[in-house]
Amino acid sequence: MRPKTIHSGLFKKVLIANRGEIALRVMRALQSLEIKSLAIYHACEWQSPIVKQADEAAEIFADNPAAAYLDIDQIVDLCRQYGADALHPG
């Protein structure tokens, strides 16, 4: 029997604004809490493990990945568009 956590039920979906191993760790933690994950990615990262393993993925746009991940307005808009009620910042 899985122990109940204080976090269960607080969020239904979390946008993960991280890359690489950190993003994968966040996603695994969300899965263990039965919370859906929304990964974001720049075009050059479309085949990354987080994109493949997340429940959903959304592309972010800019000339380079760093600029895309720093575009707060774009990220907040994706939260609204995809129904993410929380954001794990990068």
How many CB atoms neighbour CB 75 within 10 A? 20
DSSP SS3 for 69: helix
16, two tokens: 């993960």
For the chain, the domains span: 13-88
Is the pTM higher than 0.85? The answer reads: yes
Cα distances from 61 to residues 3, 50, 53, 73, in angstroms, run 40, 17, 21, 11
Residue 3 C-beta-side C-alpha neighbours within 13 Å? 3
Just give the CATH number of 13-88: 3.40.50.20
pLDDT tens across 13-54, in order?
999 999 999 999 999 999 999 999 999 999 999 999 999 999
Cβ atoms of residues 75 and 15 within 8 Å: yes
pLDDT tens across 3-20, in order?
555 555 789 999 999 999
